[in-house]
């Protein structure tokens, strides 16, 4: 048999994993190889049970718009409570439906007892979206695609919309970047996707952008198909141009694609329920950049309509939106507070598991400062002060930690600090013998077990541990004082024959 490793951790990816091999032969048995849900319940209806009534069917329809998204994959979930947190149901209520060319979709499903529905839009190689930027869009290969043309949706693209179940058989849920941000805010609350959180999230995104509180209930417009309209609903136009602005941001410096823009906006909005008014970071979505983008888009679309509908009411609407957005963006810049400047960055630390660790950051800036700690680029819920303390750290807490500090008009990102977590126990791993010294096969049932010898000196293995399970292939040592330990092992067959001791391996706590 072989003693494979001494693993001083309970995570396979720690660098402290010690891989060593050795051969262990029994006097009469030799060394070698290795080896060692509840579903939903149901009951049958008795003959006296009343017949069940036909299940209701809900029809859910809507439009997926970030540019009209064609051939997008629609999946519908309910919500359910687990440990006081409301999350998506484990199994979807409907899936496999694709959006039409104009982004519209219709899904039928049998409802469960759920206070809300969540609609997920994902993409595959057949999914495209309309370029709704007047100056054109960059496709995945870097080529320019004209206004109204189709571009491939990036890999891993997804957007969500969450709505409250209104208990009718026909319900509506439109999917846009704004519904996606509202969903992300709701999902990151302590109690998750409750009806109250979903309603609040939808109101917050509307209010943060100066829109009416029920704006997400409106059907978004395809802004590439406005030429046939003399005028449109003002709220729907504002909503649609603002949604298009997220793709416009993705064309700018610092962004790879729309996925990155939505992820950055989601992290910020899910934490604070609003956007910073301004930001010096290229990779943060601010209210100012959204308004600037909206202004440029509205004016660009108005100019495209000029030859077709000169001086139309729709043109006036678009130019009015462009002017209002531009003025608001300028006002934000003129009243900007002193920018955030980080004076002290968090430092890297190394701890032993179960110990505590604290990271600190210090910054100056106008107005009250807000903090959001992140691990590996993801916001840590509730970590919103200038210090971050992790109690009883585990191996999986190891990673890169940084902090986004912001005031009303700007933000700054700290340097990343690395947390290294050292193990607090040792795991010894070996192979189960498969043959005897003479080469004849050996089955584990012919073994009586193993004996592990160990100590703090390689030449004095004074402590022993008897393993009676012949199928065992590892042993964990806990509560050992910090020190360097040495281990060896022997096998014992059912006749009491013992192998020679293996060579010695070591591990340090």
CA pair distance 409, 54, nearest whole angstrom: 56
Residue 164 · residue 198 · CB < 8 Å: yes
**Tokens 């410096």 belong to residue:** 253
pTM of the model: 0.64
What integer pLDDT is reported at residue 7 of this predicted model?
Answer: 38
What integer pLDDT is reported at residue 335 of this predicted model?
Answer: 67
Query: Which residues lie below 8 Å from residue 56, measured CB to CB, with a gap of 6+?
Result: 110, 111, 169
Residue 416 · residue 349 · CB < 8 Å: no
Q: CATH number for 341-422: choose from 2.60.40.10, 1.10.10.10, 2.40.50.140, 2.40.50.180.
A: 2.60.40.10
Domains 5-33+431-508 and 341-422 equal at CATH topology level: yes
Q: Which of 414, 432, 499 is nearest to 471 (CA)?
A: 432
Q: Chain-centre distance of CA 179, in angstroms? A: 17
Low pLDDT (below 50) residues in the chain: 1-53
HSE-up of residue 85 (Cα within 13 Å, Cβ side): 9
Domains of the chain: which residue ranges?
5-33+431-508, 58-287, 341-422
What integer pLDDT is reported at residue 17 of this predicted model?
Answer: 28
What integer pLDDT is reported at residue 203 of this predicted model?
Answer: 95
What integer pLDDT is reported at residue 46 of this predicted model?
Answer: 38
Q: What are residue 339's phi and psi, to 5 degrees?
A: -65, 155
What integer pLDDT is reported at residue 150 of this predicted model?
Answer: 93
Helix (H, G, I), strand (E, B) or coil at 472: coil
Residue 122 · residue 95 · CB < 8 Å: no
CA pair distance 344, 365, nearest whole angstrom: 13
Q: CATH number for 5-33+431-508: choose from 3.40.1000, 2.40.50, 2.60.40, 3.30.450.
A: 2.60.40
* Three-class DSSP labels, 306-343: CCCCCCCHHHHHHHHHHHHHHHHHHHHHHCCCCCCEEE
Helix (H, G, I), strand (E, B) or coil at 268: helix
Residue 116 · residue 164 · CB < 8 Å: yes
Report pLDDT digits (tens) over 136-146: 988 766 778 89
């Amino acid at each position: 048999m072989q003693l494979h490793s001494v693993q001083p951790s309970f995570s396979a990816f720690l660098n402290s994993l010690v891989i060593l091999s050795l051969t262990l032969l029994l006097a009469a048995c030799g060394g070698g190889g290795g080896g060692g849900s509840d579903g939903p319940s149901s009951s049958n209806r008795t003959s006296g049970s009343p017949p069940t009534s036909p299940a209701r069917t809900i029809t859910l329809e809507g439009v997926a718009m970030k540019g009209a998204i064609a051939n997008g994959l629609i999946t519908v979930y309910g919500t359910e409570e687990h440990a006081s947190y409301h999350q998506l149901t484990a199994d979807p209520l409907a899936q496999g439906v694709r959006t039409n060319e104009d982004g519209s979709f219709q899904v039928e499903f049998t409802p469960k007892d759920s206070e809300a529905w969540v609609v997920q839009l994902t993409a595959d190689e057949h999914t495209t979206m309309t370029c709704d930027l007047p100056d054109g869009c960059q496709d995945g290969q870097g080529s320019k695609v004209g206004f109204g043309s189709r571009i491939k949706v990036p890999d891993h693209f997804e957007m969500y919309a969450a709505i409250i179940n209104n208990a009718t058989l026909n319900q509506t849920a439109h999917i846009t970047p704004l519904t996606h941000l509202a969903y992300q805010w709701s999902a990151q609350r302590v109690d998750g996707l409750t009806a109250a959180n979903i309603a609040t999230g939808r109101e917050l995104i509307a209010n943060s952008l100066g829109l009416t509180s029920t704006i997400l209930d409106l059907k978004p417009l395809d802004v590439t198909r406005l030429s046939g309209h003399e005028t449109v609903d003002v709220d729907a136009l504002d909503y649609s141009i603002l949604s298009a602005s997220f793709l416009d941001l993705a064309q700018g410096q610092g962004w790879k694609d729309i996925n990155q823009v939505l992820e950055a906006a989601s992290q910020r909005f899910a934490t604070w329920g609003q956007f910073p008014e301004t930001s010096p970071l290229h990779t943060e979505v601010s209210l100012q950049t959204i308004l600037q983008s909206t202004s440029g888009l509205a004016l660009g679309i108005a100019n495209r309509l000029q030859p077709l509908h000169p001086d139309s009411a729709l043109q006036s609407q678009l130019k009015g939106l462009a002017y209002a957005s531009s003025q608001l963006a300028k006002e934000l810049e003129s009243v900007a507070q002193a920018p955030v400047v980080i004076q002290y960055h968090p430092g890297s630390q190394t701890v032993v598991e179960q110990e505590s660790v604290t990271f600190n950051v210090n910054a100056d800036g106008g107005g009250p400062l807000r903090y959001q700690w992140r691990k590996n680029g993801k916001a840590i819920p509730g970590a919103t002060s200038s210090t971050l303390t992790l109690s009883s750290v585990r191996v999986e807490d190891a990673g890169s930690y940084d902090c986004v500090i912001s005031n009303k008009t700007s933000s700054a990102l700290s340097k990343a600090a690395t947390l290294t977590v050292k193990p607090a126990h040792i795991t010894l791993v070996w192979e189960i013998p498969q043959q005897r010294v003479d080469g004849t096969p050996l089955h584990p049932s012919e073994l009586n077990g193993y004996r592990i010898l160990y100590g703090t000196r390689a030449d004095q293995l004074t402590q022993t541990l008897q393993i009676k399970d012949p199928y065992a292939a590892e042993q964990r040592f806990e509560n050992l004082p910090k020190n360097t330990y040495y281990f060896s092992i022997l096998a014992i067959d059912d006749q009491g024959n013992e192998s020679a001791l293996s060579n010695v391996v070591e591990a340090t706590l």
